[in-house]
Structure 1
């Protein structure tokens, strides 16, 4: 009997979430008016461009070559132009010896989105992380820094896709 009530509760919860427009965060889709996305970067083959293209594949969003779209003028393709990414470090704390103990990493992303038949939209955002530095483990901390920046890059790609889906639905 308790099993039936729990089953009914789960079904009711799913229906109420679906009815209010809730979507899982990893299930980005573009509206029907957008058939494909073309990505270009100011710095050819940048890491952010590769990350964004990989995330588009994960979300199963069709891609086209940017040069082909610009030359032929496809009316159903969104153009994304990535500006050079920036990574800055801000000092947060120091050891008693005066060596840096902790940084705040600031990953800045600037890009431009052009929807077919609309003016380009400029966008900029920052992703921040705290990073603890240990002068005794320089090699390990260097590798950790690379991993943190890579994680920030993947988060930036996800954020671009979420914003793209939101902007496309508003047009």
Structure 2
């Protein structure tokens, strides 16, 4: 009796694992469910050519959002502004900065026709070591950290947009009290369903 090749067994086990994971509703990290009403939207920005705007447009496409030109009857994501702040966390003995913290902040507004608009902000912080003897390498490292922070901010924006489902269902932008009430109602319904099973 001949044994099956090892590569065949690996392929079968990968396919079996993938089918089991997809059957239980598992989603890969980064797979956020944007409401269907935001499946097509326009993207505007204070600076259409900024790195962050380009990254945001790319992130929307990755999440299967159809980006179209602005129109009155199409939801809009408007990047209001972005900023980068730095502060010293520690110093060398000669009082030059040894460790710095960078904070990237982005503010944006989502406008949904017949519902309203809501303004959000998101921020990402990273720290890195500053070494005056390797200034060029540290400059390249800092650029990479800034791009990583921008990319992480686009992920956060996608997650925050997924929270607009309750506003869309209500037909208007919910106040904080209405949002809390909506969350309690949803949690109550899910507990009732669990108790009947």
TM-score by length of 1: 0.80
Q: Note the C-alpha offset of 1:149.
A: 0.4
In structure 1, the partner of 2:110 is 113
1:167 maps onto 2:171 in alignment: no
Q: Which structure is richer in relative contact order (CA contacts within 8 A, separation 6 or more)?
A: 1
The structure having more radius of gyration, on CA atoms, is: 2
**Deviating more after overlay: 127-136 vs 37-46:** 37-46
Distance (Å, rounded) in 1 between the aligned partners of 2:95 and 2:83? 27
Equivalent position of 1:28 in the other structure? 32
Indicate yes or no: 2:82 matched with 1:85. yes
SS at match of 1:109: strand
Contact 2:41/2:66, CA 8 A, preserved across alignment: yes
| Corresponding residue for residue 45 of structure 1 | 49
Offset, 1:31: 2.5
Residue 4 of structure 2: aligned partner: none
d(CA) in 1 for partners of 2:87 and 2:126? Answer: 10
Q: Is the 8 A contact 1:31 1:169 kept in 2?
A: no
Q: How many residues align?
A: 156
The aligned counterpart of 2:64 is 60
Aligned to 2:124: 127
Question: Is the CA contact 2:107–2:121 (under 8 Å) kept in the aligned structure 1?
Answer: yes
Describe how 1:95-110 pairs up with structure 2 within 5 A: 95-110=92-107
Quick check: 1:34–1:168 contact (8 Å CA) kept in 2?
no
Root mean square deviation of aligned Cα:
2.5
Higher deviation after alignment, 30-39 or 84-93? 30-39
Counterpart residue number, 1:144 = 141
Structure 1 gaps of 5+ residues are: 1-5
Quote how far apart the aligned CAs of 1:103 are: 0.6
Q: CA deviation at 1:35?
A: 3.5
Which structure shows the bigger proportion of residues in helix conformation? Answer: 2
5+ residue gaps, structure 2: 1-12, 169-197
| TM-score under structure 2 length normalisation | 0.70
Deviation of 1:42 after TM superposition, in Å, equals 0.9
